Structure 1
Amino acid sequence: MNSQSTNNLFQQPLNVLGLGLQSFSDNLATAGGEVLHLQWQPVAEGDEHANWTLATLLEHEQIRAANEVALERYLAAQPVLVGVSVAHQEIPALSGQRRILHAGPPIKWADMCGPVQGAIAGAIVFEGWAADVASAMAMAARGDVALEPCHHYQAVGPMAGIISPSMPVWVVENRAHGNRAFCNFNEGLGKVLRFGANSDDVLARLRWMGDVLAPTLAEALRQTGEIELKPLIAQALHMGDECHNRNAAASGLFFKRVAVALASQPKGCEVLAFIAANDHFFLNLSMAACKVMLDAAHGVPHSTMVTVMARNGVNFGIRLSGAGDQWFQAPANPVNGLFFPGYGVDDAAADLGDSAITETAGIGGFAMAASPAIVKFVGGTPADAIGHSMAMQQITLAQHPAFTLPALNFAGSATCIDARKVVDRNILPVINTGIAHKQAGVGQIGAGITTAPLACFVEALGVIANGLKE
């Protein structure tokens, strides 16, 4: 190139495609250039083995066929609320021995975060196995009570996720395949067991829920008949909910469905007042519906579809349809969000709860475009909410035909996470969630946005790859 050509080159407008570090593009833009920056980083953080594993799975015919089966089972599922029961009557493992279920993947008592330990201690006192919280803590530390994940027994629970034998549970059945799922009842906000609170007033509320709320609702459901939950969730998405951290519309729709039947009950007005005061009441039904739909898709050999995402306040765990009941875990990410006055990041427990089952099913954080008001609770802007929903389309197998989002021209919400796409595209599943104080008994201190850790998906794909070799 001669000197004249060189001079002409440097006199042309600077148009640059930036790749990699944002700061490189920022410097060029400051110098007057027009820069299109592409967010890119090495797949699987540059892990050579993980990259090779991914390359062998991306176009694999057995995986494609398996994912089609899992997706079809999930989409065909029809979650129906069939009744209210007591945990030990529906989950045999809770009958005849001291066992308590908790949120997230398996974890030992000594390794649990404060809110989960506090909630377990409260449940022990609630069951009458110990006279006070201190004795309950000692009992759990000795191993006198078995502690296992809710997911091991077709159950889910928000935040600490505690289900003990005497607690009432929702019973949701998938009419298409016959499987059932269970979830505890929502206590409302403030100092509640799911955030680790275990004071006398917390336990008194739990007893009222078992003695009054549950039997009154059970009788009302006998009058109303079964309630189909998929259409109710779909309608709530059109009314501004995303059915994880915003359930105002869904709770209102449920209230409307049962109000007349409840009004005829001796304690009906008391129950109606409790439901009306709790915009999160439907959350636990949303979780059970998502659980029963995803369980229908679990167990398809070689499928890379994610059927569980759950957190215990220490670790984040996932399960894949094609990897049996194996958990893949990594440290739970912190939550980036809004804190109540007087609290901050240093006060917060790590990501916690089974409620990410909603995102796993394609609602919650995946459906935030339907719920612009949610950003007032978890942070960000309405544009961010839409951006999250659009980004999730890149890591899923399909758009849900029933769960449609008005803000996206009624496109279906991204559903059925493909672990391969998560790793290949470096896009992590987004979750909106409450934030618990790291100490037991304080309760909720905020809400925000977090993501699943990449390491879970990398490890899971290794197991799928090994299974294809057998």
Structure 2
Amino acid sequence: MLSGDLQVITVGAGLLGEAVDAQAVPRVGVDWRPPLPGTEAAIARVLADPRRAAANETAVDRLLSARPHLVTVRPAHEVLDLAPGAFLHAGPPIGWKRASGPLRGALIGAMLYEGAAGDAREAERMLAAGDVRLSPCHHHRTVGPMAGVVSRSMWMLEVHDAEHGGTAYCSLNEGLGKVLRYGAYGPEVLKRLQWMGDVLGPVLRAALAVSGPLDLRALMAQALQMGDELHNRNRAATSLLLRELAPAIVDAAPERAAEVLRFIHGNDHFFLNAGMAACKVSADAARNVPGSSMVVAMARNGTDFGIQVSGLGDRWFTGPAGVPDGLYLGAYGPADANPDIGDSTITETGGVGGFAMAASPAIVRFVGGDVAEATAATRSMYEITLAEHPAYQIPGLGFRGTPVGIDVTLVARTGLLPVVNTGIAGRVAGTGQVGAGLVNPPVEAFTTALAALAEEAPENTA
């Protein structure tokens, strides 16, 4: 047994491996972690479900084969059946009492924008009294960044899946800083929203009527090759979108073309909302596959972080939203930060964003960390996903497809949580953006979803 050369294998704790390295002894490191505490029985039950393998194959195939196209821009009241006094918000369901500062600020601003209240105090009184109906964006085939508030008069990007026939919506991007989605509602915010409703939305609709549908999957794939990760860095994607739309904007609305093109040019995040709708319509194609343990939505409302799973319908599994760890603007710091908020984690659900940071070395200048950590974050996500995206590829990893298709079972077995990069909203209503950083979802969202999958598994799996 000892006649050959000895080989050292280290498992788990890094301290032992570091000691061996210090002695210049060759070793093989195994990055093993125990499953999440208390999940062993549920993991065994779900893994024994005879439907699981085929169900996950079906779900991930639907997600990967989706072909999202931006087809038009329309007012929310035309496409979402929003009655007066009804507003959508990001994340799982929540009421005014538990709503975070940014969500409260965005709701106040939306009411002022719609003329539903004369001032902020009246809006707050109406919201506290329950005179306003709130519903999650995800319940209406919609996603909204940060607070994600959608009202009747806002214009929505309409994205159609040419493969499976689904449709998803997202509002137009306002830019950074003091904007409604970060909970700001001052005069400059309302003035911008009014211009977006009067000018930007109609011009984009007219331009898309001239250009025809835009292939967002192809555009996103190209943007990844150009250094975007498509959540917090959308500079290349916005430039590509602008190049596609600019001639049609000039043709469709020559008298408004300069101001519209100038607005998009000055907003590097403009593409984010289109990318979110593309990921939403792709993930929705994978919903409602019995036995599938694949995540089809991750979303936050500033208080709760929730996930939805393909095999569990529209049920939400939640835990407390964490405060991102990142870089802050100006004099702001962690004490000013609200817990994580927004539907933009649909990008990570679709295999980009935090899952594609290895494609975007420059992102670390915005969210913190260094390039090696960004690459390591992407590599770790292959351990909890079911596939690699055939179109979304990472040059720095030899054009390997991004990790996609988060599996609740793999999360529980490895103890690894999805990596999310995100903006940070000020916790006080009206503040706006205070920074950007990285955050992980709460463990509880995945363990409760796993338990539900175990309960749904057939009794007799022999």
Classify the TM-score, shorter chain.
over 0.9
Q: Aligned to 1:153, which of 140, 152, 168? A: 140
CA distance in 2, matches of 1:289, 1:207: 26
Worse-matched range after superposition: 119-128 or 257-266: 257-266
Distance 1:229 1:41 in 2: 38
Change (3 A) 1:108 1:33: farther
2:13 is the counterpart of 1:17: no
- Report deviation, 1:463: 1.2
Change (3 A) 1:238 1:206: same
Q: State the shift of 1:31 in Å.
A: 9.2
Counterpart among 248, 264, 269 of residue 258 in structure 2: 269
Structure 1 pair 36/138, CA: closer, same or farther in 2 (3 Å)?
farther
Q: Verify the 8 A CA contact 2:67 2:161 in the aligned structure 1.
A: yes
| Partner residue in 1 for 2:349 | 360
Q: Secondary structure at the match of 2:111?
A: helix
- Alpha-carbon spacing, 1:31–1:255, altered in 2? closer, same or farther (3 Å): closer
Residues 252-275 of structure 1: CA distance to partner in whole angstroms, max 9, x if unpaired? 000001111212312111100000
Aligned to 2:173: 186
Within 5 A, what are the aligned runs for 1:53-202?
53-92=42-81, 94-95=82-83, 97-202=84-189
Instruction: Find 1:215's aligned residue among 202, 206, 210.
Output: 202
Q: Aligned partner of 2:129: which letter?
A: R
Is the CA contact (8 Å cut-off) linking 1:362 and 1:414 kept in structure 2? yes
Residue 185 of structure 2 aligns to a residue whose secondary structure is coil
- Of all paired residues, the percent bearing the same amino acid is 49
- In the alignment, which of 217, 222, 226 is matched to residue 213 of structure 2? 226
Q: Secondary structure at the match of 2:127?
A: helix
Residue 428 of structure 2 corresponds to which residue in structure 1? Answer: 439
Distance 2:213 2:11 in 1: 56
Name the residue aligned to 1:294.
283
Partners of 1:127 and 1:120 in 2: how far apart? 11
* Alpha-carbon distance between aligned partners in 2 of 1:276 and 1:179, rounded to the nearest angstrom: 30
1:5 is matched with none
Cα deviation code 1:195-242 (max 9, x no counterpart): 000011101100100000000111111111111110000000000001
Q: Counterpart in 2 of 1:205?
A: 192
Task: Name the CA distance, whole Å, in 2 between partners of 1:33 and 1:246.
Answer: 41
After superposition, residues 395-434 of structure 1 pair within 5 angstroms as 395-434=384-423
Q: Is the 8 A contact 2:46 2:457 kept in 1?
A: no
Match of 1:456 in 2: 445
Partner Cα distance (1:367, 1:313) in 2: 24
TM-score w.r.t. the length of structure 1 is 0.92
Following superposition, the deviation at residue 24 of structure 1 comes to: 6.9
Question: Alpha-carbon deviation of 1:341?
Answer: 2.4
Amino acid at match of 1:256: R
| Match of residue 244 from structure 2 | 257
Number of residues paired by the alignment?
451
Deviations 1:262-309 (A, max 9, x none): 123121111000000000000000000000000010011111010000
What SS is found at the alignment partner of 1:469?
Answer: coil
Corresponding residue to 1:369 among 347, 358, 365: 358
**Partners of 1:284 and 1:172 in 2: how far apart?**
10
Amino acid at match of 2:306: G
Q: Measure, in 2, the Cα distance between the counterparts of 1:393 and 1:61.
A: 24
Question: How far, CA to CA, are the matches of 2:398 and 2:49 in structure 1?
Answer: 33
Moved more, 452-461 or 113-122: 452-461
**Deviations for 1:51-84, whole angstroms, at most 9, x for unmatched residues?**
1110122253311111111111111211011101
Q: Distance in 2 between matches of 1:85 and 1:38?
A: 52
What is the deviation of 1:42? 3.5
> Displacement of 1:25 after TM fit?
6.7
Partner residue in 2 for 1:284: 273
Specify the code of the residue in structure 1 equivalent to 2:216. Answer: L
> Which has more radius of gyration?
1
The 1:71–1:30 alpha-carbon spacing in structure 2 relative to 1, beyond 3 Å, is closer
Opposite residue 399 of structure 1, the aligned amino acid is E
Structure 1 residues 404 and 37 mapped into 2: Cα distance closer, same or farther (>3 Å)? closer
Contact 1:83 1:226 in 2 (8 A): yes
- From 328, 331, 337, the equivalent of 2:326 is 337
2:34 — aligned with what?
42
Give how far 1:181 is off: 0.4
How big is the shift at 1:15? 7.0
Deviation at 1:40, TM superposition (A): 5.1
Structure 1 pair 39/347, CA: closer, same or farther in 2 (3 Å)?
farther
User: For 2:67 and 2:140, how far apart are their aligned partners in 1?
Assistant: 20
CA contact (8 A) 1:262 1:269 kept: no
Determine the C-alpha separation between the residues in 1 that align with 2:32 and 2:130: 47
- Distance in 2, matches of 1:31 and 1:222, equals 65
Amino acid at match of 1:466: E
For residue 390 of structure 2, give the secondary structure of its aligned residue in structure 1. Answer: strand
Q: Deviations 1:20-67 (Å, cap 9, x if unpaired)? A: 4x56777x57996969876655311x21xx211101222533111111
Q: Could you say if the C-alpha distance between residues 416 and 103 of structure 1 is closer, same or farther in structure 2, counting changes exceeding 3 Å?
A: same
3-state secondary structure, aligned to 1:297: coil
Structure 1 position 315 matched with structure 2 position 315 = no
Determine the structure 2 residue equivalent to 1:379: 368
